Structure 1
């Protein structure tokens, strides 16, 4: 391992509902599909297809809140544990963190389709009223479904409702460099990363093939495509034996173990 850290974890973001606002946390447990609670829920239309900001930009104004202790390692939900959802002009919606009994089939996101847990009529009415079209809130059913990532890049790994991979890592230096080129600077939430690191050169993360954060090994598998550009590194986490708990915290050092030789290598 390198003697000195190449960067430090500056921010950690969770996005409990796909395409809705994220939550900044001081630490987060890691599972095989990413950070706990990340993209565990998704809004779907009348055909069961994922609703995203690409078609429904109003989702960007939907705020979500988890119980303060929900990111603790040993925490488990009870009947008084809720995901609280807010949006402009809407009453507050509370969704129980205990798994609902009902399921719905024909849920799809990108090329994946399967069944999901249905959060019920109250949540459906809330999102239907807010988006102005028939909608339902569903939760990934870990007990019956598996959604693998692209096997061409990371065979054997899986996600819930994330677009593609368990983690997206971006550096503050890259954001600063980008904003120097823009007339109107953009905040980091525009790119929806899970891990924001600092104290490294701009775009250094693009060439990170293997890094360690704490005792966890992360592998860079694919630069994140943004229309005509790439921004951020999609990553997977190795060494997650079942039954063990793993956690990342703000300030954790980032050690670079191996790098790609060139940008061409990051897309192969």
Structure 2
């Protein structure tokens, strides 16, 4: 009987939560510092930087459209947030800059259809959500000379209460009536090596991750010399605009509905 229950749980998921949402982070501006929120609902954006006055960006004004904006392989138009934002970033970054918003009225940026067909994202690197666990961070920090905060990995959802790297196997999870699909282990670029407070970079955590979280160390099918930390997600409910709005809230239980059999079977 116990064996049968175990098999059913692996197929349909357990009724017991596998983890709890510990933190939620949003990133109003690509590559800028994340903001911790109690739930994933944002209605306005405030931008701050050391020795700079606060820049407030209203999200309901009419903006000029500019072309030739690109993120990786995608290019298209975007909405110009205006001269004040341009001058603010130009002053702080000490190079000509402008701030743009994704033009949802006329542009579509699809996620890689090899991993999730029909889903969209905006200016994020490839997928709309990134999940990581505190257990995974703790396991990594035990190997590092200087522990790193979760902000290095720019996750949207940080969960706690599960074993290190359990999230590798989460094929389908449910959080507060929202269904998320784990569609791709997150291969890490240089960003985790950059201190989010001062912009300086180093060799860690990539150097340590290469020892036990590379495609070779995980026995993944594709061998491209990459390291992995976290799971990229899409949300099933985002395909439908009908119904009441739902949110992920700190403290929500995470229910695993389906799992990959091993990290080697997880898509990368």
Q: TM-score w.r.t. structure 1 length?
A: 0.78
Tell me the alpha carbon deviations over residues 192-232 of structure 1, each in whole angstroms, 9 at most, x when there is no partner: 00000010000000011111112111111111112441000
| Structure 1 residue runs of 4 or more that deviate by more than 6 Å after TM superposition | none
Alignment of 1:11-22 (within 5 A): 11-22=23-34
2:166 to 204, 211, 220: 204
Alignment of 1:118-129 (within 5 A): 118-129=80-91
CA distance in 1, matches of 2:233, 2:45: 27
**Structure 1 position 152 matched with structure 2 position 108:** no
2:231 to 221, 230, 233: 233
Are 2:173 and 2:254, in contact at CA under 8 Å, matched by a contact in 1? Answer: yes
Alignment of 1:38-57 (within 5 A): none
Between Structure 1 and Structure 2, how many residues are aligned? 218
Structure with the largest fraction of strand: 1
Alignment of 1:44-123 (within 5 A): 70=43, 83-123=45-85
**Structure 1 position 5 matched with structure 2 position 17:** yes
Q: Which of 165-174 and 244-253 deviates more?
A: 244-253
- Structure 2: give runs of 5+ residues left out of the alignment: 1-12, 190-225
- Secondary structure of 1:247's match? coil
CA distance in 2, matches of 1:191, 1:250: 18
Are 1:100 and 1:118, in contact at CA under 8 Å, matched by a contact in 2? Answer: no
1:238 deviates by: 0.8
- Secondary structure of 1:154's match? coil
1:118 deviates by: 0.3
* Larger Cα-atom Rg: 2
Are 2:181 and 2:235, in contact at CA under 8 Å, matched by a contact in 1? Answer: yes
Are 2:63 and 2:82, in contact at CA under 8 Å, matched by a contact in 1? Answer: no
- Secondary structure of 1:249's match? coil
Are 1:100 and 1:119, in contact at CA under 8 Å, matched by a contact in 2? Answer: no
Q: Which residue of 1 aligns with 2:242?
A: 243
The CA RMSD measured in Å over matched residues stands at 1.4
Tell me the alpha carbon deviations over residues 163-216 of structure 1, each in whole angstroms, 9 at most, x when there is no partner: 110110000000000000000100000000000001000000001111111211
Q: TM-score w.r.t. structure 2 length?
A: 0.78
Q: Which residue of 1 aligns with 2:256?
A: 256
